[in-house]
Amino acid sequence: MTNRHNFLSTLASEADRDISIASLFDAEPNRLSRFVMREGPLRADFSKQALDGKALDALLDLAAKCDLEEWRAKLFSGERVNTSEDRAVLHMALRGVGGTAENQKEVAEMRTRMADYANALRADGKFKNIVHIGIGGSDLGPRLVADAFEARAEQSLTLRFAENVDGASVNDAIKGLNPAETLAVVVSKSFGTQETKMNGESVRDWLGQYGGTNMIAVTANRDRAVDFGIAPENIFDFWDWVGGRYSVWSAVGLSLQIAYGPDVFSDFLDGAKAMDLHFRDQPLQENLPVMMALVGIWNRNGLGYGSQAVIPYARRLRKFSAFLQQLEMESNGKSATRDGDATTLTCPVIWGDEGTNGQHAFFQWLHQGPSEGRYGGAPVDFVAVLTDHENRPAHHAALLANCFAQSEALMLGKDEAVVRKENAARADIDALAPQKTFPGNRPSTTITLDELSPNALGHLIALYEHKTFVQGIIWNVNSFDQWGVELGKVLAETILLEMAAGAAGDHDPSTTALMGLVK
């Protein structure tokens, strides 16, 4: 679209003016009311972004010119917005929003079957352990959610994960477990993913005589699961309109239901549903996912930042940054538009770690390092939980204090005059002052959850899902395919066969030499 292209190309010039974030609070008396938004237990504070009201108005105009409202309606109605694969995108239907009557019927039937199965297993008591086998969306979502559920829900079965094709992954998952008391859940949309099949085969061998009864599958390819040896009645379906990185809401979350109970999982779905309805129904200027997306567009296309840090100050959200790497970079890490044209400056690199660990690692770079972005460092999303779920109030107060202090320090910095005044007696002040100067004016968003409940977690994940969709529309990329994932997988299968045969095929000299190292 010409309007989109023209506006994105002029964002940099719009941003080519010095904005002092701290001074915006005086210049815009209503800044908090406009730049802070809440939905249910989630509050997002965008006021420490290098973005003023003028720039926000321009970004909202961009969203309108990109027909965001029309695309949003297409998404929820079930139109085939995944154009390259000719598929609808209806993970919201898993939460009870959008899609057709047939979609909702399928979802309701599967949710009932999952809940009945989970309740029956929990009541029976035969199984003490679950080994969840999957990778990518079949692992990152469930693993993140399992960690977070621990804050509020009681885990009735031991839940472990086997995701990596590295043998250490499956060995760690089954270590110390009794096969007779262990249920293996093999999760793969295609049931053709190499890592999942290999780990599934290894666990099946470990189960031995219990392999036929203690293994179930979650897949969109029932035939392959049957060929693998899973009994048809032990297969739980999900559909091609559910992308892998959006699938935790589906039967992919069955392990979570068994471990924590269907009621806990339903609360998780309800939290996401509330965010779905907010995103669907609220006007753009009052829409939390839209605001988050536009802030990201400003930082990427206006201020030129090449990366985005996400720092959860909650140990039970420690997988959140990794989860978002797949959600955002697999969705919008594209250099071709929906129309096949070349494009640049789409998804930034997403990275991070849990706070306060990151403060003792990469925060040096965030505070004082250079960057391709206008103000240095990288924009940060801080995520904090206001309620102490660990019964350690002193620890929790210190955790929150660090989170709030870091966002303030990134914004304010410390200028050289202050450093010189504080260290006036030092003979080496001329050399020292620049090293202890913090430029500040580094943008951040702070997201707080009232508590780390399943409902709040649902709000949080759905917020980032919809943010990703909005940015894909503005960048004019298909956020729901992932062709870049495929090439390396195909080559890996070829190389594996050649290494087994002891004869390398037609490869570059480096790859051939590497294959020759394998004995």
**Rounded Cα distance, 53 and 31, in Å:** 8
> Are 435 and 252 in contact, with CB atoms under 8 Å apart?
no
Both tokens of 105, joined, read 């019927």
- Using alpha carbons, select from 312, 105, 137, 99 the residue that is nearest to residue 218: 137
Catalytic residue among 5, 105, 126, 489: 489
C-alpha neighbours within 13 Å on the C-beta side of residue 189 = 16
129 DSSP β-pair partners: 158, 182
**Rounded Cα distance, 121 and 183, in Å:** 10
Catalytic residue among 102, 233, 360, 519: 360
Catalytic residue among 39, 330, 354, 465: 330
What are the distances in angstroms from CA 144 to CA 139, 141, 148, 349? 8, 5, 6, 20
- Residue 372 catalytic? no
- Residue 233 catalytic? no
Q: What is the 3-state secondary structure (H, E, C) of 20-56?
A: CHHHHHHHCCCHHHHHEEEECCEEEECCCCCCCHHHH
- Residue 360 catalytic? yes
Whether the upstream peptide bond of residue 343 has omega within 30° of 0, thus cis, is no
DSSP 309-322: EEEEE-GGGTTHHH
> Are 368 and 434 in contact, with CB atoms under 8 Å apart?
no
**Rounded Cα distance, 28 and 34, in Å:** 10
> Are 478 and 338 in contact, with CB atoms under 8 Å apart?
yes
Torsion over CA: 92, 94, 96, 100 (sign): positive
The three-class DSSP label of residue 385 is: strand
> Are 219 and 225 in contact, with CB atoms under 8 Å apart?
yes
Rounded to 5 degrees, φ, ψ at 429 are: -60, -35
The three-class DSSP label of residue 418 is: helix
- Using alpha carbons, select from 92, 110, 106 the residue that is nearest to residue 272: 92
> Are 279 and 461 in contact, with CB atoms under 8 Å apart?
no
Question: Helix-strand-coil percent breakdown of the chain, rounded to 5?
Answer: 55, 10, 35
Q: In angstroms, how far is the first alpha carbon of the chain from the final one? A: 54
List, by residue number, the catalytic residues.
330, 360, 489
